[in-house]
Amino acid sequence: MPELPEVETVRRGLAPVMEGQVMARVEVNRPDLRWPFPERMAERLTGRRVLQLRRRSKYLLGDLDSGETLLIHLGMSGRMTVSGDPLGRFVHDHPAAQKHDHVVFHMESGARITFNDPRRFGAMDLMPTATADQHRLLSVLGPEPLGNDFHEAHLIAAFRGKNTPVKSALLDQGIVAGLGNIYVCEALFRCGISPLRKAGQISAARVATLVPAIRDVLERAIAAGGSSLKDFRQADGELGYFQHSFDVYGREGLPCRTPGCSDTIRRKVQSGRSTFYCPSCQR
């Protein structure tokens, strides 16, 4: 599933052709994805101007001049790709319609944004912009890891007395929003913290090191256009490249990259997800 860097990469790719632009026509080609689409979604979107395209955790949020906000979640295999941009930022002509093109946004500028989702785990919803933070998917989220509300004191307090493994704690979207399996593994490796260690048993000083490490790995991933493992593509259809910089994720059995370490990367299943780590470097 796309994590924060992938969703932010998509947002940055869509912003030039969506922000300030009018959706001249919207096609909704099926009644649902993971959940039913909101009532009269195509009608409520058609003719509306996108005032701002922002991100909260792994959700895209398009604020409209109607006073509503469009929420988009990419799910497991969702892609939003741009074609026909008249200003030349996206060089692709409009492709032929594909089987899983479930929602198509025809912009007044001539650009077209297509939401394609073969596995249909994505989602869209419409809500009042004024109360968007109270939406059931957004109200439970913790602070953004790249925002000012995510700091050492917050993480230390969140971990205090917590009996779950630190990896599980960091995947808790109520503690920090947007982190997923890949980037938690990478951040823990950078801090030398074992993903198996209980969150509440890690010293405050070591917990504090996670904040800059998380920010750094996310910023580097965004700069690389995210990580393309299976389905993820940027808005222009290109792959992300951060997977080539993984220190531990997906490297089971390969040598640890820490200078002087002779151990290999191990894989362990935690809560149904693969965890990758170096048992020598991470304690």
> Annotated binding site for DNA, which residues?
100, 119, 162
Return the HEC string of 18-42. Answer: HCCCEEEEEEECCCECCCECCCCHH
Our CA angle for 73, 142, 225, nearest 5°, is 50
- E strand map for 65-199: 68-73, 79-83, 101-107, 112-116, 123-128
Q: How far is CA 104 from CA 32, 117, 277, in A?
A: 14, 12, 41
Task: Identify residue 40 by its one-letter amino acid code.
Answer: R
Annotated active-site positions, please?
Answer: 2-3, 58, 273
Q: How far apart are CA 61 and CA 59, in angstroms?
A: 6
